[in-house]
Structure 1
Amino acid sequence: MLRKKTGRIEIVSVKDERVEAFIPDPLPPEPGIKWSGDLQKLFDQAHVSLGELNAINEIVPNTELFLYMYVRKEAVLSSQIEGTQSSLSDLLTHEVGEAVSVPQDDVAEVSNYVAALNHGLKRMREDGFPLSLRLLKEMHAILLRSGRGQNLAPGEYRRTQNWVGGTRPGNAVFIPPPHTHLMDLMGDLEKFLHDEDIPPLLKAALAHLQFETIHPHLDGNGRLGRLMITLLLCAEGLLKQPSLYLSLYFKTYRQQYYDMLDTVRRKGDWESWLAFFAEAVVRTADQAVLTAKELQDMFARDSATINGLGKAKETAKAIHNALLAQPISTPSSLVEATGKTHATINSSLRNLELFGIVKEVSGRKRNRVYAYSEYIRIMDMGLDVPGEHSA
């Protein structure tokens, strides 16, 4: 079932070119979603996969550390979609105070993403703040507080016309609504976010596409729109922990993702988008479960090795625990984390390196840097998908 109308066109003038801006109708779609057997089956499977992800989060050795790394992986992926070159290792190296080879702006954007997500979760969980336009603006301000977007109105809606793709308005892929409509459009979106009659997973799928269509900011729309999915599912109780991130799936199937957005806008084919979204949830949640299990196996295997070190095992255990929290570390940071002496730390690191648990990655004789290489390898899976720039 295709809808005849999902929005309206308004002619606007941008940089001396007259173009067609698209103004979407409020959510939910009218007429309502047609739940075919296949679409319902996909959504049912997505709920099953989310249930398994919630369950695995309860049995990982340390849920906070698992989430620590997962949030950072998502930050890297989401930023790579926007064209940054920063890797997970770059971010972890930056966090321990070491210089990285990629542009500083790239690392800053990834670091800001982590901070924005943590801010949103804290506001909702500790402050009892609802997922709202105000919270999204606060997160946007953090996303763009440094790096390339810091001069593009952090925390504010745009006051000029923007466009997506292309080198100028005339050859753009998509022209979002004029800024004069933003308050009404975002107000309608907030009402939809608070609609208790809409199932959470359906709400997340519809709201994400609507936000991408409105494109309310000059920069950072993609990152904030992806963050909103996880925050909404956490706020609605469908996710117990923020461990579902769709950026890898969206990045891997980037062209299909953009085609889906365009098909909804042109033809009102929300059903195809919902099928794509549900498949993304299934694949992403299932992969997260496998990753968690692989991390469990790694933790058990390395713990067994460390327990066989005799008198040296206590310091090695302390270092192991510290590396779980900060997988790229220096002897100085490990001294601070464990309370052990430099000599003791360096001796234990040599043992751990001998057993292949850590690897020296700086190549220096002084001021060395060590990586929990297997941990990073497991979390790195999927980060080598080629990236392209997107607004």
Structure 2
Amino acid sequence: MPHTHEIPPHGHDVVPWKQSGRSGTREDRTLSEVTVSLPPEIANLDVMLPPDVIAMAEQALIQIVRTDAEFGSGLKVLNSFLIRTESVASSKLEYIEASSVDYARAIAGSKANPSALSMIAASAALTRLVDDVSQTRRISLASILAAHHDLMKEDSLDGPYAGKWREVQNWINGSDHSPRNADYVPPPAHTVESYMADLEAFANRDDVPVLVQAALVHAQFESIHPFTDGNGRIGRALINVVLRRRGITLHSVVPIASALTARRDDYFAALNHFHDGLISPLVTLFAQGCNTASLEAAETARRLIHLPVQWHGLSRNRVGSTALEIIDVLLEHPTLNVETTQRLTATSHVSANAALEKLTRDGILQEITGRSRDRVWASPDVLAELDDLDFRIAQASTPSFVTFNGRRLES
């Protein structure tokens, strides 16, 4: 029985191809044409999905709103924490891996781990996009370009193209030297600006169910693939941008990338279904992932709230002491050096260093560089929760079973 198209499927066109330089096999060098995909325009698209898919999406929104309202405003650190979780998981989908300790070192200024630096850049890009839409209530191409610049400006290969629409033909998988045997070939470069203007119009509509809009914005962005690199991370950031613009989140983000990483094959299969005119698989995956991620984010919020109580129990400090002041800001600043501590506590270099040493002896901080100079301290409890939140979301999002509204459902 043939599939019913929920949206227009991608079209195709055969266009000329010529390598910019001679490389690869003879087949790469002699390739003269390539079949590109042509996504449908979606600015004025009417989307009709099965009622059960819409109901699941709406239930997921209820959980997102509940977590954001209960913890987002009173626990300001939750937003920055969830941005880190989302950015790290989104990077992992691109096989960019670094430990939480490497990530903490990068926050403190270490440039030793390129993957950790890339994760920091992803956090900056997501923060910019969410902050921009919070202020303007619009998703703009200028904001997307600026976020891409934040993401890629330090990249050794694609730095020169940061914040710029691609001017070359790109492709996904296959040969490194030509689109030969590629899994997907996006539309030609000269169509990118027009496609992105169409996407911008759709992203700012208010008459489309929210998660359907988020799924379509993400899938269309990935189909256009408007940049030379960084498309996946910017595209997944747009999921949270849609949620923020529509008022579903006011204070925090949803770490959906952890769920998508756990179901990588399902995620990429759903994007392929989009090429064929079906969006329900991706909306369903987003609903399940957002629901699970929001439930686990609420659990993380509860754990973070109790951490300062535990720290005060571990370290006895007099009122007004630098160590006590560090504990009071540690949730928001889980990675510290002496200079940052001086700024946050308005104290001397000697007092800041002594307080950091004391909290290390008390088991509240851990020195993570192993150096005698330019040292950096981090909260092992906060770093552990960063890892544990990602693990819990992944565990609850396994292909066999997914969590929805607190129940385990077979996928």
- Work out whether the TM-score is over 0.5: yes
For residues 312-331 of structure 1, what are the structure 2 equivalents within 5 Å?
314-331=321-338
**Residue deviations 1:277-334, cap 9 Å, x none?**
111111111111111111112233223444xx25377332211134323212223432
Write the distance in 2 (CA, Å) between the matches of 1:86 and 1:78.
Answer: 12
Using the TM superposition, give the Cα deviation of residue 49 of structure 1 relative to its aligned residue in structure 2, in angstroms. Answer: 1.2
**Residue deviations 1:189-216, cap 9 Å, x none?**
1221122211222211111111111111
Structure 2: which amino acid aligns with 1:79?
A: S
Which residue, 305, 315, 340 being the options, matches 1:333? 340
For residues 127-146 of structure 1, what are the structure 2 equivalents within 5 Å?
128=136, 130-146=138-154
For residues 98-137 of structure 1, what are the structure 2 equivalents within 5 Å?
98=110, 100=112, 102-103=113-114, 106-126=115-135, 128=136, 130-137=138-145
Residue 250 (structure 2) aligns with: 240
Structure 2: which amino acid aligns with 1:56?
A: E
Contact 1:87 1:383 in 2 (8 A): no
Residue 404 (structure 2) aligns with: none
Structure 1: which amino acid aligns with 2:347?
A: K
Q: Which moved more, 1:128-137 or 1:341-350?
A: 341-350
Which residue, 343, 355, 358 being the options, matches 1:348? 355
For residues 189-200 of structure 1, what are the structure 2 equivalents within 5 Å?
189-200=199-210
Structure 2: which amino acid aligns with 1:57?
A: F
Q: Which moved more, 1:354-363 or 1:26-35?
A: 26-35
Write the distance in 2 (CA, Å) between the matches of 1:333 and 1:271.
Answer: 48
Distance 1:108 1:147, change over 3 A: farther
Contact 2:105 2:368 in 1 (8 A): no
The answer on 1:277 being equivalent to 2:289 is: no
The answer on 1:158 being equivalent to 2:161 is: no
Structure 2: which amino acid aligns with 1:229?
A: I
Write the distance in 2 (CA, Å) between the matches of 1:324 and 1:23.
Answer: 47
Write the distance in 2 (CA, Å) between the matches of 1:270 and 1:78.
Answer: 21
For residues 292-311 of structure 1, what are the structure 2 equivalents within 5 Å?
292-306=301-315, 309=316, 311=318
Which residue, 104, 107, 111 being the options, matches 1:95? 107
Structure 2: which amino acid aligns with 1:3?
A: H
Q: Using CA pairs below 8 Å that are at least 6 residues apart, which structure has the higher relative contact order?
A: 1
Residue 370 (structure 2) aligns with: 363
Distance 1:141 1:333, change over 3 A: closer
Residue 16 (structure 2) aligns with: 13
Contact 2:39 2:224 in 1 (8 A): yes
* Alignment gaps of 5+ in structure 2: 20-30, 395-411
Which residue, 18, 25, 47 being the options, matches 2:40? 25
Write the distance in 1 (CA, Å) between the matches of 2:160 and 2:107.
Answer: 25
Question: Paired residues, what number?
Answer: 375
Q: Which moved more, 1:114-123 or 1:132-141?
A: 114-123
Distance 1:13 1:88, change over 3 A: farther
Contact 1:335 1:341 in 2 (8 A): yes
Contact 1:76 1:87 in 2 (8 A): no
Q: Percent identity?
A: 25
Structure 2: which amino acid aligns with 1:93?
A: R
* Alignment gaps of 5+ in structure 1: 386-391
Q: What secondary structure is seen at the aligned counterpart in 2 of 1:311? A: coil
Structure 1: which amino acid aligns with 2:333?
A: Q
Write the distance in 1 (CA, Å) between the matches of 2:261 and 2:118.
Answer: 17
Which residue, 4, 23, 33 being the options, matches 1:2? 4
Contact 2:296 2:389 in 1 (8 A): no
Q: Which moved more, 1:346-355 or 1:330-339?
A: 346-355
Q: What secondary structure is seen at the aligned counterpart in 1 of 2:89? A: helix
Distance 1:314 1:44, change over 3 A: same
Contact 2:158 2:229 in 1 (8 A): no
CA RMSD of aligned residues (A): 2.6
Residue 41 (structure 1) aligns with: 55
Using the TM superposition, give the Cα deviation of residue 112 of structure 1 relative to its aligned residue in structure 2, in angstroms. Answer: 2.3
Using the TM superposition, give the Cα deviation of residue 149 of structure 1 relative to its aligned residue in structure 2, in angstroms. Answer: 4.7
Write the distance in 1 (CA, Å) between the matches of 2:72 and 2:97.
Answer: 33
Distance 1:84 1:58, change over 3 A: closer
Write the distance in 1 (CA, Å) between the matches of 2:358 and 2:295.
Answer: 35
Distance 1:343 1:160, change over 3 A: closer
State the TM-score, normalized to the length of structure 1: 0.86
Write the distance in 1 (CA, Å) between the matches of 2:285 and 2:217.
Answer: 15
Using the TM superposition, give the Cα deviation of residue 160 of structure 1 relative to its aligned residue in structure 2, in angstroms. Answer: 1.7
Using the TM superposition, give the Cα deviation of residue 113 of structure 1 relative to its aligned residue in structure 2, in angstroms. Answer: 2.1
Write the distance in 1 (CA, Å) between the matches of 2:317 and 2:324.
Answer: 11
Write the distance in 2 (CA, Å) between the matches of 1:66 and 1:31.
Answer: 36
Q: Which moved more, 1:140-149 or 1:160-169?
A: 140-149
Write the distance in 2 (CA, Å) between the matches of 1:49 and 1:361.
Answer: 37
Distance 1:129 1:148, change over 3 A: farther
Contact 1:176 1:213 in 2 (8 A): yes
**Residue deviations 1:32-87, cap 9 Å, x none?**
323243x2332132012112221232465x41x22222222322222232232333
Write the distance in 1 (CA, Å) between the matches of 2:325 and 2:170.
Answer: 52
Q: Which moved more, 1:107-116 or 1:48-57?
A: 107-116
